[in-house]
Amino acid sequence: MKRLLSGIQPTGIITLGNYLGAIKNFVKLQNELEDIDFLVFIADLHAITIPQDPQALRKNIKSLAAVYIACGLDPSKVHLFIQSEVLEHAELGYMMQCIGGIGELERMTQYKDKKKRHVEGVTTALLTYPCLMAADILLYDTNIVPVGEDQKQHLELTRDLAIRFNSKFGDTFVVPEPYIADKGARIMSLIDPTKKMSKSDPNHKAYIGILDDINQIKNKIKGAVTDLDGTVKYDEENKPGISNLMSIYSCMTGLSYEDIEAKYNGKGYAEFKTDLAEIVINEIKPIQEKYNELINSKELDEILDNGRDYATYLARKKMAKVRNRFGIGRKIK
């Protein structure tokens, strides 16, 4: 049996980037792989590394749980839970800080980016974030971690920490592998296609939210930055805007870039954008309908209770072993 695990931060409403780069792959893996144990969680402890409004955070946590299921995660196949409800994440996160070096944390691109964006109030936890992420993964003997391209560096650090711990204290952790799908791994901002699409972007026009209303989606795609050349052609370097829209198109339809170029040969961006908006809306609409059914249901709480209980069972067993390896507390038999 292989164990898979991934998480998303409840820092806002899920974007098309999160959907194509992460959730859609989770659903695919859930449906295609056999003999797996799959844990998917809501990374609320990660969310608070940047100041959050407590009321909005609570809402986003519940909303993300409903989005996961509305997008196709099946609670009978995947264990869904909230990170902070399994206390061992924070405990192992602290222990990972005890073996992680400041230098390696300071080199993380995400830390450097976020530090620039949140000049006031850069918290200690923003720096130590990858130690908590390593803990999330190592706590469950995870073999495979499906994530978008931007998380690759954190996964490498997780592997380094696992190897370091194992060689210092004896074989304890499974060394995980990232799983990064080639398509959709990096969807860019609609207004600055050199920046990744991000749900915490203060400019709402930069991203498509999975719960945006239909007209909003049409307008955002219509207003997406392109170039003056007017040919639908994939060229990331010279035509990053249209290339980004083409990658969304390709992810959603399965058409290759060549197919798309041929289809829009001699046609302008307006027609391409109108079609793309329709494609996106057709995929998102059923997700929104399912979301609305779920968001206030009792079922959602039951799913999260079950997920928490299962994750807690695994995490407790693992932590007894880790405490013994470190030599803290009294020996647990």
Site string for ligand LTN, 218-237 (x = CB under 6 A): --------------------
331 is catalytic: no
**Active-site choice (24, 62, 196, 220):** 196
Minimal distance, residue 271 CB to ligand ATP, in Å: 25
- By CB under 6 A, the residues from 154 to 183 that bind ligand LTN are 154
Residue 247 binding ligand LTN, by CB under 6 A: no
Residue 133 binding ligand LTN, by CB under 6 A: yes
Minimal distance, residue 223 CB to ligand ATP, in Å: 18
Nearer to ligand LTN, 50 or 242 (CB): 50
Q: Which positions touch ligand ATP (CB under 6 A)?
A: 8-9, 11, 15, 17-18, 21-22, 147-148, 150-151, 184-187, 196-200
Residue 17 binding ligand LTN, by CB under 6 A: no
Residue 145 binding ligand LTN, by CB under 6 A: yes
Minimal distance, residue 115 CB to ligand LTN, in Å: 15
Nearer to ligand LTN, 40 or 260 (CB): 40
Which residues on adjacent β-strands are paired with residue 177? 144
205 is catalytic: no
Contact between 273 and 222 (Cβ < 8 Å): yes
Residue 49 binding ligand LTN, by CB under 6 A: no
Instruction: Reduce the secondary structure of the chain to three states and give it as a string.
Output: CEEEEEEECCCCCCEHHHHHHHHHHHHHHHHHCCCEEEEEEECHHHHCCCCCCHHHHHHHHHHHHHHHHHCCCCCCCEEEEEHHHCCHHHHHHHHHHHHCCHHHHHCCHHHHHHHHHCCCCCCHHHHHHHHHHHHHHHCCCCCEEECCHHHHHHHHHHHHHHHHHHHHHCCCCCCCEEECCCCCCCCECCCCCCCECCCCCCCHHHCCECCCCHHHHHHHHHCCCCCCCCCCCCECCCEHHHHHHHHHHHHHHCCCHHHHHHHCCCCCHHHHHHHHHHHHHHHHHHHHHHHHHHCCCHHHHHHHHHHHHHHHHHHHHHHHHHHHHHCCCCCCC
**Active-site choice (62, 114, 218, 220):** 114
Minimal distance, residue 218 CB to ligand LTN, in Å: 28
Residue 147 binding ligand LTN, by CB under 6 A: yes
Tokens representing 286? 């059923």
Residue from 67, 78, 137, 251 in contact with ligand LTN (CB under 6 A): 137
CA distance linking residue 305 with residue 291, whole number of Å: 19
196 is catalytic: yes
Number of residues that bind ligand LTN (CB under 6 A): 14
**Active-site choice (24, 62, 199, 220):** 199
Nearer to ligand LTN, 137 or 284 (CB): 137
Contact residues toward ligand LTN (CB under 6 A) are: 5-9, 43, 46, 133, 136-137, 145, 147, 151, 154
| Catalytic center residues | 114, 196, 199
